[in-house]
Amino acid sequence: MTSYLMTNQKHNLVVFDFEMACKSWFINYISTVLYYANHFPKKISDNDFESNFMNHFWIGYEQEFSIDKFERKWINKFLLYRDLMVYGFVTNLWSESELLPNQLKYLDKIQNSIKIRRKRQGI
């Protein structure tokens, strides 16, 4: 969730991304990048996109940091967590009786993603 703060009389705007303001595992940060990159329009399926994106991502990332292969297995769990968190946030924010078509489409996308990710986790 992003929050804003107006400071002093000049009304300078300070943006806080509380979602990323906490300390977490590097693999959670990586999963967050993948999660939001996956929201942009693309020409390949979501599964192919994730695989393709991560193959290229690791090439650049591992020039600076090393992530153990064991930790990489947590990506799907963090993606599921992100889906659940976003779904909970938007359903709390939006009134079900007044949803716009694009909001319904977005919720449907998240619900489908949750089903797929739960199946991958054996949940």
- Residue-wise pLDDT for 83-105, tens only, equals 998 899 888 888 877 889 999 99
User: In angstroms, rounded to a whole number, what is the distance separating the alpha carbons of residues 104 and 24?
Assistant: 31
Q: How far is CA 18 from CA 1, 64, 81, 123, in A?
A: 6, 25, 16, 28
- Which pTM value belongs to this model? 0.74
Average pLDDT of 36-64?
82
Nearest-angstrom CA–CA distance, 53 and 35? 11
Beta strands 12-17 and 2-7 are antiparallel
Find out whether 10 and 20 touch, Cβ atoms under 8 Å.
Answer: no
Domain assignment present for residue 18? The answer is no
The amino acid occupying position 18 is F
15-28: average pLDDT: 67
Q: What pLDDT was estimated at residue 10?
A: 65
Element (H, E) at 91: helix 75-93
* pLDDT band at 68; cut points 50, 70, 90: confident
Q: How many residues does the chain have?
A: 123
Query: Considering the domain boundaries, does residue 3 fall inside one?
Result: no
Query: Is residue 107 domain-resident?
Result: yes
Residue 62 lies in a domain: yes
Comparing CA positions, the residue from 37, 6, 3, 7 lying closest to residue 20 is: 3
* 69, part of any domain: yes
Number of structural domains (the chain) is 1
- The domain in which residue 112 lies consists of 24-121
**Residue 11 covered by a domain:** no
Distant-in-sequence contacts of 65-69, Cβ < 8 A, 24+ apart: 65/26, 67/26, 67/27, 67/30
Answer yes or no: is 19 within a domain.
no
Instruction: Specify if 68 maps to a domain.
Output: yes
